[in-house]
Amino acid sequence: MSNRTLPRMTGLAIAAALICFPASASQDREVPTSEPRGFFISLSGQQFGFQGDLDGRLTLWHFEKAFFIPRLTKDFGLGLGLGLRQKWGLWELNVVQAGHRAAWSGSESQAGLTALEINGWGFPWRNSVVQPYYLLGLCFTWLAVRDGAWMAGSVYDATYNGLGINVGAGLVLNLGRRLFVSGGVKYRFLGFYYVNGGGRGRDIQQLTVGYQGPAWDKWLRAPSLGLNFGLSLVL
């Protein structure tokens, strides 16, 4: 092969590549996908299993007012969500409600949890029937404990306000262009910072451990690890 032939062939190869590149790029854009995309509604089941300071042995006080910090059973809640799915992942706004049995110092009662979640999901693989996902989001929570507060000889319900971060991972199964299901594990690192019950609400950091004891001086930590499943329909 002559010295002149090699540069000529190299030039032709580059020219052919430049000509073919727009066509191939156009074909990539036109590849059909089986992934559902667009706005969707979802129904989910989520498991809550609280740990940390929610152990049923702690009582926080503010002068004559006491809040009995409960231990909650591990239970599933039901969620209803609205979101937008795109090729790289999805955003969702989800409202979840769960019921728990609550116990403290030999007493038993009931508790109800409401959680408002704002989550973003990422899909490392695209154009696949089965896709792994990773999740990151925020969680705003309200926990109502029946008969969970005491003041001046009377019993009251206690309501805790909390804030947390969600992280998780799992799999999505795409069932056509309008339906997908998901399953995975979600870890919530929650902290409760405010409580109401028997009069004015209180900043939890300003309560004391025991009657006139040392200051608690922090949020109630309540991490939770549990399974979650979802069924979503693209509108």
The phi, psi pair for 164, rounded to 5°, reads -155, 175
Predicted local distance difference test score (pLDDT) of residue 189: 94
Say whether pTM exceeds 0.75: yes
**CATH match for 38-234 among 3.30.1330.10, 3.40.50.2300, 2.40.160.20, 3.40.50.720:** 2.40.160.20
Predicted local distance difference test score (pLDDT) of residue 33: 55
Quick: pLDDT tens for 63-117. 889 999 999 999 999 999 999 999 899 999 999 999 999 999 888 999 999 999 9
- Band of the pLDDT at 14, cuts 50, 70, 90? very low
- Band of the pLDDT at 165, cuts 50, 70, 90? very high
Quote the mean pLDDT of the chain.
86
Residue 205 has pLDDT above 50, yes or no: yes
Q: In the chain, what are the domain boundaries?
A: 1-31, 38-234
How many residues are there in the chain? 235
First to last CA, the chain: 62
